[in-house]
Amino acid sequence: MAEERRDRRRDNRNPRESRYGRKREEPEPKPWVPKTKIGKLVKEGKEKDIDKVIKEYKILEPEIIDNLIEVKSDLLSIGQSKGKFGGGKRRVWRQTQRKTAEGNVPTFACLSVVGDENGHVGMGYGKAKETPPAREKSLRNAKLNVFAVKRGCASFDCSCNEFHSIPMKVEGKCGSVRIILIPAPQGTGLVIGDECKKILRLAGIKDIYSKRFGQSRTTINYAKACIDALKKLK
């Protein structure tokens, strides 16, 4: 029992390598058995158009997205480090605590973004008592929330027909955070906060200007406002 517990702790510390530096064997991933109608269609290869699937069906299995697009993911820094020297450094995990008679019970949460860098993006939140399951849950939720982003070029000093920016000026909101996304000419880059940069990069947008108002250091609201704005492009 004690042995097993020690093993598990070692797993948490370094999932890829054992203590002796050897690569440990990854557990075989189970084959996907689809449960929903659209899941079966995708597995059989009868449905290949991601836009059609997103538009016509409600996605309840994250594997559908895995099969349709090449998923890339990123974690947003929603938390801060604890402990010495004041803490407060930006971290991917948001650590919160519940007080009980036995002591404090920590909970970890994280916010991940998935996308194919070609007009599809999704964001999901997940929390658990440990960090790896929190990440898995958030990834799963992010895949279920994938939507299509309408891209285009509408900047006043760029008249190409490529999908490098957005077709119009949009505004998004979450909590007190308000964000305005403005089309930009080619070569501008992403003129926006770091966390939203991750979202737009995964969505496949290369050039943008932005403005933000409110308590935008609340990263969760900042990211949600960005997603809200992207959804309004439709």
Task: Give the footprint of Zn ion on this chain (CB under 5 A).
Answer: 153, 158, 160
Whether the CA torsion 125, 128, 132, 136 is positive or negative: it is negative
- Chain position whose Cβ is nearest to Zn ion: 153
Selection from 135, 116, 120, 117 nearest residue 76 by Cα: 135
Closest approach of Cβ 70 to Zn ion, in Å? 25
Residue at token pair 């990123």: 74
How many helices (H) does the chain have, and how many strands (E)? 7, 10
Q: Distance between CA atoms of 181 and 118, rounded to whole angstroms? A: 18
Q: Which is nearer to Zn ion, 188 or 218 (CB)?
A: 188
Closest approach of Cβ 190 to Zn ion, in Å? 15
Closest approach of Cβ 207 to Zn ion, in Å? 8
Q: φ and ψ at 86, to 5 degrees?
A: 90, -20
* Spacing of C-alpha 179 from chain mean position: 18
Q: Which is nearer to Zn ion, 153 or 179 (CB)?
A: 153
The CB density around residue 140, as the number of other CB atoms within 10 Å, is 18
Closest approach of Cβ 189 to Zn ion, in Å? 13
Q: Distance between CA atoms of 58 and 64, rounded to whole angstroms? A: 11
Q: Which is nearer to Zn ion, 82 or 169 (CB)?
A: 169
Which residues, in sequence order, are bridge partners of residue 109? Answer: 94, 127
Q: Which is nearer to Zn ion, 160 or 168 (CB)?
A: 160
Closest approach of Cβ 209 to Zn ion, in Å? 13
Q: Distance between CA atoms of 122 and 54, rounded to whole angstroms? A: 11
Q: Which is nearer to Zn ion, 104 or 159 (CB)?
A: 159
